Chains A and B, each alone.
Chain A
Amino acid sequence: MTRLSAGDKRIKFANPPINEVAIALFHLPLGELKAQHIGLYWNRIRNRYPRCDQQTVIISPQDQQPPEIFKDVPGEIFPLPRFWFFSDVHPTLIQIQRNAFLFNWRRGDGKVEYPHYETVADGFWKELDRYNTFLQDVIGEKLDVIQRCELNYVNLIDPNEFFAGPSEIGNVLPLFGGLHQVETEDQRLVGMNTTVTYQINRMLFIDLITRLGVRSDTKQPVIYLEMKAHGVPDDLSLEGGRSWYDAAHNAIYRMFLEITDKQIQEEVWEPR
Chain B
Amino acid sequence: MGTTMTYTTAPAWYPERASNSGYTGKAFSQSPLDTDKSGLYSAIRKRILTASAKEAKPRLYFVFPVFSAEPPTISEHIFATIKALYLSNTFRNRRIAQRLKTLYRDALADNEDIVSESIDQFRDFFLANPGTSLPKITLTPDGTLRVRWIHGPNHFVAIEFTGEPLVKLVAEIPGEKGATELYVINYSVQDIFSVAQSIDASFE
Q: Which residues of A contact B (CB under 8 A)?
A: 19-20, 22-24, 28-29, 31, 51, 54-56, 58-62, 64, 67-69, 71, 74, 77-79, 84, 86-91, 93, 95, 102, 104, 106-109, 112, 144-147, 150, 152, 154, 156, 190-193, 197, 199, 202-203, 205, 207, 211-218, 222, 224, 226, 228, 230-237
Contact = CB atoms under 8 A, between A and B. Distances in A.
Interface of B: 1-14, 19-25, 27, 30-31, 33-34, 38, 43, 46, 50, 66, 68-70, 73, 75-76, 78-80, 82-83, 86-87, 89, 101, 104-105, 108
6 contacts: A20-B23, A61-B20, A69-B87, A212-B9, A215-B7, A235-B104
Contacts of A237: 105
B87 A236 contact: no
**Max count, chain A CB within 10 A of own CB: residue among B1, B50, B73:** B1
A79 B7 contact: no
A29 to B, nearest CB: 7
Contact of B4 (A24, A54, A108, A228): A108
B46 to A, nearest CB: 7
B38 to A, nearest CB: 7
A63 B14 CA distance: 19
Contacts, number: 168
A20 B10 contact: no
A156 B83 contact: no
A233 B1 CA distance: 34
B79 A147 contact: yes
A224 B5 CA distance: 11
Contacts of B105: 235-237
Given A69-B87, A202-B73, A236-B79, A215 B4 contact: no
Contact of B24 (A20, A29, A144, A231): A20
B1 A67 contact: no
B34 A55 contact: yes
Nearest to B82: A145
B9 A193 contact: yes
Given A58-B19, A197-B69, A234 B87 contact: no
**Max count, chain A CB within 10 A of own CB: residue among B19, B34, B50, B79:** B79
Given A145-B79, A191-B11, A150 B22 contact: yes
Contact of A191 (B5, B9, B22, B80): B9
B14 A193 contact: yes
Contacts of B86: 28-29
Contacts of A56: 19, 30-31, 33-34
Given A29-B87, A51-B2, A154-B25, 14 more contacts: A22-B21, A22-B22, A58-B21, A62-B80, A71-B50, A78-B43, A84-B24, A106-B2, A156-B5, A156-B7, A191-B11, A193-B13, A211-B9, A232-B76
A145 B84 CA distance: 13
A123 B33 CA distance: 31
Contacts of A67: 83, 87
Contacts of B69: 197, 205, 207
Contacts of A190: 10
Contact of A108 (B3, B12, B104): B3
